[in-house]
Homo-oligomer: A and B are copies of this chain.
């Protein structure tokens, strides 16, 4: 199971975060004397990350959730789909259920809070490179809860957001949704943005397919 750079003992890491200072901080804390971990690159958004994963073939990708453009969860999904042997660890400030769920669904091997200690981070990276999973303690508890018959899905989206998403699923444009629900198009856009974030997607089409597949919305009167 060690077919990439890991075979010679070094673990190749790609850091993805939109804050240069944060990337530098992580890099410093990872690259300690023994040379076990090598940071082979940095990316500042999801698109760049996917490109670099292709060219650099890191063993582990450390990625933030909230980034401009393509968010970390969506990027994780694509990395996991395009390069199944590349492990992804989410580095997040959020410990919300929905993010954890979405991140793990997207194929992440780890979900660490940014409050993690440097030594623990190194341990997690090494562990994940060898096939383990890494979860911050607070996250681990949530995951267990999620596994034991989770009603998280229902609470994921607010009532208003579900109404918006339902209409969107019928093909309604934001303008139409706005008229239907008596709100401005800007509010519809805001709801859509929040829905995207919660579901870990980056387009209305993705949001709608997820909703349809998980039956969060009633399609009964669509045809």
B81 with A205: CB separation less than 8 A:
no
A137 at the interface (CB under 8 A from B): no
Copies of this chain in its oligomeric complex: 2
Determine whether the beta carbon of B219 is less than 8 Å from that of A209.
yes
Alpha-carbon gap, A74 to B203, bound state (A): 23
In the complex, A29 has a CB within 8 A of chain B: no
Nearest B-chain residue to A206, judged by Cβ:
B171
Q: A74 contacts which chain B residues (CB < 8 A)?
A: 171
Listed residue (A81, A209, A213) with the most chain B CB atoms within 10 angstroms of its CB: A209
A78, chain B: closest CB distance, angstroms: 9
A128 to B196, CA, bound (A): 45
Within 8 A of B (CB), among A143-177: 168-171, 173
Mostly helix, strand, loop or mixed at chain A's interface?
helix
Q: Is the beta-carbon distance between A213 and B219 smaller than 8 angstroms?
A: yes
Give the distance in Å from the alpha carbon of A222 to the alpha carbon of B206 in the complex.
Answer: 10
A34 at the interface (CB under 8 A from B): no
| Contact assessment for B77 and A209 in the assembled complex, using a CB-CB cutoff below 8 Å | no
The interface size bin for chain A is: 20 to 34
Q: Residue-by-residue, is A186-223 near B (CB-CB < 8 Å gives 1, otherwise 0)?
A: 00000000000000011111101100110000010111
Asked if residues B209 and A222 are in contact (CB atoms below 8 Å), the reply is: yes
Interface check A132, CB cutoff 8 A: no
The distance in angstroms between the C-alpha atoms of A154 and B212, with both chains bound, is 21
Return the contact of A171 from the options B105, B209, B212, B221 (Cβ within 8 A): B209
* B213 engages A171 (CB within 8 Å): no
Partner of A205, one of B106, B205, B219, B221: B205
Instruction: Encode A60-77 as 1/0 by CB contact (under 8 A) with B.
Output: 000000000000001001
A168-B205, A171-B202, A171-B205 known; 13 new pairs, CB 8 Å cut-off, are A74-B171, A81-B221, A105-B223, A106-B223, A169-B209, A170-B209, A171-B201, A204-B205, A205-B205, A205-B208, A208-B209, A212-B212, A213-B219
Could you show 11 A-B contacts with beta carbons less than 8 Å apart?
A: A105-B223, A170-B209, A171-B202, A204-B205, A208-B208, A208-B209, A209-B212, A209-B219, A212-B212, A212-B213, A213-B219
